[in-house]
Amino acid sequence: MNKVFQYGIDHLSLEKVLLIRDGALKAELGPESIARIKKSEAAVATIVEENRTVYGVNTGFGILANTSISEEDTRTLQYKILQSHSVGVGDPVPADISRLMLITKVHALAQGYSGVQLTTLERLCWHIEENILPVVPEKGSVGASGDLAPLSHLCLPLIGLGEVWHKGARRPTAEVLQEFGMQPVQLGPKEGLALINGTQFILAHSIKAVERLHNCLEAADIIGAMSLEALTGTKAPFEERLHALRPYAGNKLVAQRLMQLLDQSEIMQSHVDCGRVQDPYSLRCMPQVHGASRNAWLHLKELTEIELNAVTDNPIVFDAHHTISGGNFHGQPLALPLDYCCVAAAEIGNISDRRCYLLLEGKWGLPMLLMSKVGLNSGFMIPQYTTAALVTENKTLCFPASADSIPTSLGQEDHVSMGSISGRKLNRVIDNLEFILAIELMCACQAIEFRRPLKSSALLEFAHDHVREYVGFADEDRIFADDVVKIKAIISDFSFVKQLNAFAAVKGISLNKGFETYGA
């Protein structure tokens, strides 16, 4: 266990939030956090005592901001906002998204600008520590005014309502609290608003997408190199001096990785004088295409880390006499890069499908459809139909949600980001991308065996052998969907990339040396 992370005080990096999510880093409210929280709580209490009008403390919400609320009703107001705003629909988000939402919500509130009570944050921490995770519907946020609907569902368990995941079962919150001998939290002024204002739904999806897309980008370089080997392509377009003339960092990194992945390959050496002048773009332009997607990924990662440490509440309470109603809850800063990364992820799938197609054509010494006896057998024809379908589905998902805005709250909230849709959409594109890469990997492993007895590089032979632990060579047709699912699993759980990186480290090879900012 690493040292304790202090919510609201320590800088929260992508690496740390993933460690907290996975239980590898303990996070808690330390003395500094507690002092800030109590100071902010006291400021709100003073506002109520002095009967000064502050949005969300003693006023209605949204278009009702000019409606005054009496002092005796300020607490009731906070319960009503959680209930009235819990209008999410659709399937529940995955449990890890709910957990990330809790972690990032606590970190934002613990910075001491929201006026929440210490007891409320302690209860949220209890949910994280016990892994009792709120059930949050996936749809209903417009990505501004905060992720109101999903955050309302996230915080319903605080007042004994809603549902939670406990030990794999979906259960009413009241039942679970009773089993633990716990009572609902008594919310104070402004707390309901502070709990549901924020971008934690968008942020959680962004965190997950950054983690998953990085894995896909790493895998795509490895799989693309295997396809190039099977197709007897050349590594000349990956030389460093070529990319120094157009020095995008992502391009240079991919070119470096491909050169190392192909180093000392017998297959490559066997055709150096074959007379083929140029390879198709899906082979030759991997640094430019994969590299552009890596640059988009890096931008999203950098902005996600800013958001991880941001205060996205409204109003912001600096002290009892200084509050500002602003727009820090607006999701546009993440909505745009999330939409951009939808295109970046989809393009990795697009070029992967092109390589699948090349592998099946029967050119450059490979049998048509990667099988010796086709006719009776269809070979690997139909798996490429699946990549084509997934690529097209991803294209339909690339329309930017942030390009649309529908006014809400009777026009008070007249521009919204739709960033929640951007985040969900990106993860759907990555779902499809993992399947596309799995099919290319399946085809590349099949194809490379037709180059025997020649061997590829040590790294690519390791990658091939790792896949063969799960899926064997196909002499004839079988249910390839079963193979795809098995290969997709080792991509989705990151083990394919991790195992190859570990093997490379043993060999003294660092594929990403000099490009540490592109690390996971």
> Do 267 and 295 fall into the same domain?
yes
> Do 413 and 284 fall into the same domain?
yes
In order of 66, 106, 216, 444, 485, the CA distances from 441 in angstroms are 60, 41, 12, 5, 12
Name the pLDDT band for 65 (thresholds 50, 70, 90): low
> Do 210 and 124 fall into the same domain?
no
Residue by residue, DSSP assigns 391-445 as HHHHHHTTS-GGG----BGGGTB-----HHHHHHHHHHHHHHHHHHHHHHHHHHH
> Do 421 and 394 fall into the same domain?
yes
> Do 336 and 417 fall into the same domain?
yes
Range of lowest pLDDT (148-157, 205-214, 264-273, 345-354): 264-273
367: Cα separation from own chain's centroid: 39
385 a catalytic residue:
no
Residue by residue, DSSP assigns 111-166 as TS-S---HHHHHHHHHHHHHT-EE--EEE---SSSSSHHHHHHHHGGGGT-SEEEE
Answer with the one of 170, 198, 226 that is the final residue of a domain.
Answer: 198
Name the 3-class secondary structure at 7.
coil
Q: Which residues lie below 8 Å from residue 270, measured CB to CB, with a gap of 6+?
A: 232, 454
Answer with the one of 181, 198, 215 that is the final residue of a domain.
Answer: 198
Give the per-residue pLDDT at 52.
84
Can you give the CATH number for the domain in which 427 is found? 1.20.200.10
- Residue 514 burial (10 A CB sphere; 0-12, 13-18, 19+): exposed
Torsions phi, psi for 313 (to 5 deg): -85, 175
What is the pLDDT of the chain when averaged over all its residues? 95
Give the per-residue pLDDT at 56.
74
Name the 3-class secondary structure at 247.
coil
Can you give the CATH number for the domain in which 74 is found? 1.10.275.10
How far is 379 from 367, CA to CA, in rounded Å?
Answer: 10
Range of lowest pLDDT (4-18, 146-160, 268-282, 357-371): 268-282
**Considering its fold, how many domains does the chain have in total?**
2
**Which of 55, 113, 340, 518 is the catalytic position?**
55
Q: Is the pLDDT of residue 353 over 50?
A: yes
Q: Residues 387-398: what's their mean pLDDT?
A: 98
Answer with the one of 164, 198, 232 that is the final residue of a domain.
Answer: 198
Host domain of residue 143: 5-198
Name the pLDDT band for 275 (thresholds 50, 70, 90): confident
> Do 194 and 212 fall into the same domain?
no
Under 8 Å between Cβ of 422 and 304: no
* Other residues' Cβ atoms within 10 Å of the Cβ of residue 393: 15
DSSP designation for 190: T
Q: Which residues lie below 8 Å from residue 519, measured CB to CB, with a gap of 6+?
A: 512
> Do 173 and 263 fall into the same domain?
no
Peptide bond between residue 315 and the one before it cis (omega within 30 degrees of 0): yes
By C-alpha distance, which of 231, 233, 186 is closest to 82? 186
Name the pLDDT band for 63 (thresholds 50, 70, 90): low
> Do 289 and 379 fall into the same domain?
yes
Mean pLDDT comparison of 38-47, 182-191, 335-344, highest-scoring range: 335-344
Give the per-residue pLDDT at 19.
97
The angle that helices 480-492 and 495-506 make with each other, rounded to 10 degrees, is 60
79: its two tokens: 């319960």
Over its C-alpha atoms, the chain yields an Rg (Å, rounded) of 26
Give the per-residue pLDDT at 151.
98
Name the 3-class secondary structure at 191.
helix
Give the per-residue pLDDT at 42.
95
DSSP designation for 10: S
Give the per-residue pLDDT at 276.
82
How far is 308 from 326, CA to CA, in rounded Å?
Answer: 19
Under 8 Å between Cβ of 108 and 203: no
DSSP designation for 94: P
How far is 329 from 311, CA to CA, in rounded Å?
Answer: 8
Q: What single-letter amino acid sits at 258? A: L
> Do 272 and 360 fall into the same domain?
yes
Q: Which residues lie below 8 Å from residue 312, measured CB to CB, with a gap of 6+?
A: 108, 146, 197, 198, 199, 200, 328, 329
> Do 236 and 161 fall into the same domain?
no
> Do 262 and 122 fall into the same domain?
no
Under 8 Å between Cβ of 472 and 369: no
Under 8 Å between Cβ of 148 and 85: yes
How far is 205 from 100, CA to CA, in rounded Å?
Answer: 9
Q: Is the pLDDT of residue 165 over 90?
A: yes
Tell whether pTM > 0.85.
yes
> Do 214 and 171 fall into the same domain?
no
Percent of residues, the chain, with pLDDT higher than 90: 87
State the greatest distance between any 2 C-alpha atoms of the chain, in Å, as a whole number.
Answer: 87
Q: Is the pLDDT of residue 1 over 60?
A: no
